[in-house]
Structure 1
């Protein structure tokens, strides 16, 4: 249920994708609240498509947003967003939270491809993305964070990404940036002065048969096989446009 406590907003959105028995994907649950509005768009073949549309400014200080998606066996779902998510300071100095929970059953497929998250000056946001996959599930997940709008310093951003396959953790990483983050976050061992950072995770049975080789993708991106049928691409770039280009090139390479 969505609600407002003082100046804080709590809202939840849920998606459930299910095979419709005719070769397509149905969406028996498509429910958004407050700033998390969900819109079904035109399907692509057997794949259902959903767009997350921001219905109000969020997340602000003290807000707590939760977005969950479940893809059942035989279903295919693509989720994107209509625009970037902008983390802003609120009237309260409390930390904001944005939790994403993804559950893909054995034989299901999810493409989770939202637009960038922008950490505006003065904001304080903690993002948590957790994906639980069945042994034969497929996932394409992209996360992109931009530290500050043009010409401004970033807010504080803590982002944690966890992926589990058949109950086994294959990825659990956290990045902290901006004021109050551990020293060195902008140094040569982490962002090296770049203002856009992103991850691309691909998981599926094909990576068990043909594991990817670890390698650099130019100077600012790296491909790393995970301890399971999955691969991680991490990249940094001066801006959102060049970050997207790096991740798109990596996705194209892995699709060959």
Structure 2
């Protein structure tokens, strides 16, 4: 049985890539300059049935200086009937003068899993980052699984002397226990690492480990 994909273009242009049976791979290609003042990017992902969707970002995103303006980046994910999602996101860079609100909302039913990587970089090289507010919400079978808000306007309170925050979030299953990993009350985990340069982050190896052997039990 072949996977069926319905792709729609907006600020981003999705392109289907070759994939093995049971796996759908989709690349996100920027359709224009992003992220500028006034931009409202919305990404909707819906996966149904026993298929694994892998989203590939072809490049990182830079939120440029907005001269008093602002922008939004909203992601809405819906997984049902045994679906799984693997999204290995490229760095999201918040330049000086940028003001961005970024939200991620995930709904999944029992038997579904999501494996999400987010890499926030405040400022380009030798630059102080702008303003960023992130909001993450997740539900499993209509029960709250995760609710988190981070405000990077006072970035020192979150990052200290670091410039980058690399995060892997799993929903529907847990990562192995580790000092850098927070286990949610339900089946899910958040692993984080603070680094000065994004390429120094090692938390992505957890993504590979988790993908190869997800454990749906809440422990």
Write the distance in 2 (CA, Å) between the matches of 1:167 and 1:63. 31
Write the distance in 1 (CA, Å) between the matches of 2:168 and 2:183. 12
RMSD: 1.8
**More deviation in 57-66 or 123-132?**
57-66
Write the distance in 2 (CA, Å) between the matches of 1:198 and 1:160. 16
Tell me if structure 2 keeps the 8 A contact 1:62–1:93: no
Secondary structure of the 1:58 match is coil
Tell me if structure 1 keeps the 8 A contact 2:22–2:50: no
Residue number in structure 2 paired with 1:132: 107
Residue number in structure 1 paired with 2:8: 31
Residues 1:186 and 2:156 are matched in the alignment:
yes
- State the Cα distance separating 1:212 from its structure 2 match: 4.6
Structure 1 moving runs of 4+ over 6 Å: none
Q: Deviations over 1:185-220 (max 9, x none)?
A: 314xx212111112211233x54xxx853x31xxxx
Residue number in structure 1 paired with 2:44: 68
Secondary structure of the 1:26 match is coil
Secondary structure of the 1:251 match is helix
Secondary structure of the 2:49 match is coil
Q: TM (normalized to structure 2)?
A: 0.89
Residues 1:102 and 2:60 are matched in the alignment:
no
Write the distance in 1 (CA, Å) between the matches of 2:90 and 2:176. 26
Residue number in structure 1 paired with 2:170: 202
Write the distance in 1 (CA, Å) between the matches of 2:49 and 2:22. 13
Tell me if structure 2 keeps the 8 A contact 1:118–1:147: yes
Q: Equivalent residues in 2 for 1:17-166 (5 A)?
A: 22=1, 24-27=2-5, 29-33=6-10, 35-90=11-66, 93-166=68-141
Any unmatched runs of 5+ in structure 2?
214-219
Q: How many equivalent residue pairs?
A: 212
Q: Deviations over 1:52-101 (max 9, x none)?
A: 111211221121110010000222211121100110124x6222111000
- State the Cα distance separating 1:248 from its structure 2 match: 1.9
C-alpha distance 66-239 of structure 1, shift in aligned 2 (>3 A):
same
Q: Equivalent residues in 2 for 1:218-229 (5 A)?
A: 222-229=180-187
Tell me if structure 2 keeps the 8 A contact 1:212–1:225: no
Tell me if structure 1 keeps the 8 A contact 2:51–2:83: yes
Tell me if structure 2 keeps the 8 A contact 1:60–1:88: yes
The structure with more radius of gyration: 1
Write the distance in 1 (CA, Å) between the matches of 2:30 and 2:208. 29
